[in-house]
């Protein structure tokens, strides 16, 4: 069996760190009553930062799949932030 440079316990931790950061940003945004657009943007930046870090820092491509998923999730959050920003003026006019 090919060893990619990280063990399963390390991979689980690499999965938990971005999830904890994602939920921490959401929790802080809710407590400070931050706009949803800014919350989505901060969550997207956290996901993209973890994705870049996993591509560069994890040896032998051990977390490339996780990095790709985090990058796609960050891009999705950017689209959600854009949609929320567009819908915000519509909601205020109603």
pLDDT at 60: 81
Taking only the tens place, the pLDDT of each residue in 2-35 is: 666 778 888 899 999 999 999 999 999 999 999 9
Whether residue 12 lies inside any domain: the answer is: yes
**pLDDT value of position 4:** 63
Secondary structure element (H or E) that encloses residue 92, with its range: helix 64-93
Express each pLDDT in 33-89 by its tens digit. 999 999 999 999 999 999 999 999 888 878 899 999 999 999 999 999 999 999 877
Q: Is residue 1 part of a domain?
A: no
Domain count, the chain: 1
* DSSP letters spanning 12-32: HHHHHHHHHHHHHHHHHHHHT
pLDDT at 58 (0 to 100): 86
In a domain, 89, yes or no: yes
Which of 94, 87, 93 has the alpha carbon at shortest distance from 35?
87
In a domain, 3, yes or no: no
pTM: 0.86
Domain span holding position 87? 8-93
The pLDDT of residue 7 is 83
pLDDT at residue number 88: 77
């Amino acid at each position: 069996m090919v060893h990619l440079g990280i063990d399963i316990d390390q991979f689980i931790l690499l999965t938990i760190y971005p999830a904890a950061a994602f939920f921490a940003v959401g929790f802080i945004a809710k407590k400070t009553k931050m706009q949803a657009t800014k919350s989505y943007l901060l969550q997207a930046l956290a996901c993209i930062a973890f994705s870049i870090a996993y591509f560069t820092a994890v040896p032998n491509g051990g977390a490339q799949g996780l990095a790709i998923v985090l990058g796609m999730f960050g891009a999705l959050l950017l689209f959600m932030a854009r949609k929320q920003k567009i819908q915000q003026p519509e909601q205020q006019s109603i």
